[in-house]
């Protein structure tokens, strides 16, 4: 009886020891406190003063350890969402899969999550094992296990400037290794979006994916088709606006994850003009992000899908449709397909359509047409898109040069430019065909709306 009691006590101690994190002080981790968000510090301080544990967590700690100022700050606590909400004037509980609290300071949002417990067997899952709803709260060490990668499972306390590391995340950061926590197959089944997150972090950080973490990716890639389109779109947007978009897309293809996301991207990248166009567009986006300039998601997706539009535009004209109606039909086809796959928001789809529709209008450089274009609300985006087409060799660079001069000129200067005879007055680059009689119904042989090539 006494032996059993001693064994039980020792067992508890050993188990408790296994849950203890490695604690690093300021001199060991080297985080610069100046990189912290004052609002994130305010949230942790308020929670701690109310008697709760609170830490900056996740990607923010990872970036701080890399000496990079984080864009977003998340806080983890042992307070429940309702307890968090009561401590802040502007706090809102959101989420169904797992409840979180958004604490708002003007336009700045600090996301606060309660420590998650070990995934309960009773958690609602679909037939593939994806967790649909799990509001199980737990201890900090359990929360660390539930996080996806070792480099995202560290906790920083601004009050004492200590980092708590449960899964050797510091070592993986120093070795530039991306490693999933737990059994990779099980973690991917729980949330297939992790398959995309692996690619994004590896490309963005320049880290190598751990072999055991990489091995199941290609086999389990079809699980992404089971994720709600809105979540896939959010992850794709993060990937494309990471500042390493081109590297991310290359990594997507390398890991076999591009199918079902931008399935025609391979076709585009195999064509010389398409590859150059997409490469220039993504390089320009990455540069703007590095310079802290705004980036339009509509412009980004319009660039990625443009050569799909061109392909269908050419097909409609070859089948007898006039250029402008053919362009609108082609845009409809591409948007219908991609809206279903990526849950493109209406505003983004509208921006894409406007940018595409402006392209043939840039080639009408006579009469009042150029002046009307100057009044277009999307002129800048359409003009930048035009320059991409020129730079990739899709159309004559003279058109872009003319518009650059026209937009910068004064009244007399614009009249002088209009007096010059353009090389291709009012012509689109796709071949013209006379439309058949019988109205604007879709011509025989044209691609079906919403179909993929």
Catalytic residues: 72, 74, 148
Q: Look at the block and give the residue holding tokens 């990937």.
A: 239
Look up residue 76 and give its DSSP letter. E
Contact 131, 156 (CB under 8 A): no
Residues 6+ apart with CB under 8 A from 207: 151, 176, 177, 178, 201
Contact 337, 450 (CB under 8 A): yes
Residues 6+ apart with CB under 8 A from 403: 362, 383, 386
Contact 39, 105 (CB under 8 A): yes
Structure tokens at 203: 């490309």
Q: How far apart are the C-alpha atoms of 163 and 61, rounded to whole Å?
A: 8
User: Torsion-angle region of residue 437: left (phi > 0), alpha (psi -120 to 50) or beta?
Assistant: beta
Contact 316, 428 (CB under 8 A): no
Residues 6+ apart with CB under 8 A from 181: 144, 145, 147, 148, 149, 150, 153, 167, 187
Pick from 133, 121, 276, 271: nearest CA to 191: 133
According to DSSP, the β-strands at 177-178 and 162-165 are unpaired
Question: Helix or strand or coil: residue 452?
Answer: coil
């Amino acid at each position: 009886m006494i032996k059993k009691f001693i064994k039980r006590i020792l067992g508890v101690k050993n188990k408790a020891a296994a849950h203890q994190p490695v604690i690093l002080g300021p001199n060991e981790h080297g985080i610069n406190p100046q990189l912290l968000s004052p609002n994130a510090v305010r949230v942790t301080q308020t929670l701690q003063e109310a008697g709760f544990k609170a830490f900056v967590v996740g990607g923010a700690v990872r970036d701080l350890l890399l000496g990079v100022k984080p864009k977003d700050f998340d806080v983890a606590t042992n307070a429940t969402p309702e307890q968090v909400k009561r401590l802040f004037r502007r706090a809102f509980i959101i989420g169904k899969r797992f409840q979180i609290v958004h604490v708002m300071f003007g336009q700045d949002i600090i996301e606060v999550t309660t420590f998650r417990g070990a995934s309960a067997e009773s958690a609602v899952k679909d037939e593939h094992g994806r967790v649909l709803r799990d509001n199980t709260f737990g201890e900090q060490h359990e929360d660390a296990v539930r996080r996806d990668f070792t480099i995202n499972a560290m906790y920083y306390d601004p009050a004492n400037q200590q980092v708590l590391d449960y899964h050797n995340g510091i070592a993986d950061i120093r070795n530039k290794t991306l490693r999933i926590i737990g059994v990779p197959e099980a973690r991917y089944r729980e949330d297939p979006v992790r398959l995309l997150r692996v690619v994004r972090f590896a490309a963005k950080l320049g880290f190598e994916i751990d072999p055991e973490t990489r091995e199941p990716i290609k086999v389990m890639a079809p699980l992404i088709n089971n994720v709600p389109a809105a979540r896939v779109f959010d992850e794709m947007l993060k990937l494309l606006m990471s500042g390493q978009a081109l590297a991310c897309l290359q990594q997507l293809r390398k890991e076999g994850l591009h199918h079902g996301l931008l399935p025609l991207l391979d076709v585009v990248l195999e064509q010389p003009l398409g590859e150059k166009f997409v490469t220039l567009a993504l390089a320009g986006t990455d540069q703007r992000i590095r310079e802290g300039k705004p980036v339009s998601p509509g412009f980004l997706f319009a660039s990625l899908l443009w050569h799909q539009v061109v392909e269908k535009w050419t097909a409609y004209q070859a089948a007898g449709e006039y250029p402008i109606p053919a362009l609108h039909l082609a845009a409809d086809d591409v948007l219908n397909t991609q809206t279903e796959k990526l849950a493109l928001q209406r505003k983004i789809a509208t921006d894409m359509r406007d940018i595409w529709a402006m392209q043939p209008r840039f080639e009408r450089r006579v009469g009042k047409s150029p002046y009307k274009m100057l009044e277009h609300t999307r002129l800048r985006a359409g003009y930048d898109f035009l320059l991409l087409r020129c730079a990739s060799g899709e159309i004559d660079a003279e058109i872009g040069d003319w518009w650059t001069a026209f937009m910068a000129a004064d009244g007399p200067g614009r009249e002088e430019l209009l007096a010059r005879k353009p090389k291709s007055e009012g012509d689109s680059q796709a071949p013209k065909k006379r439309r058949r009689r019988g109205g604007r119904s879709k011509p025989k042989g044209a691609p079906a709306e919403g179909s993929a090539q």
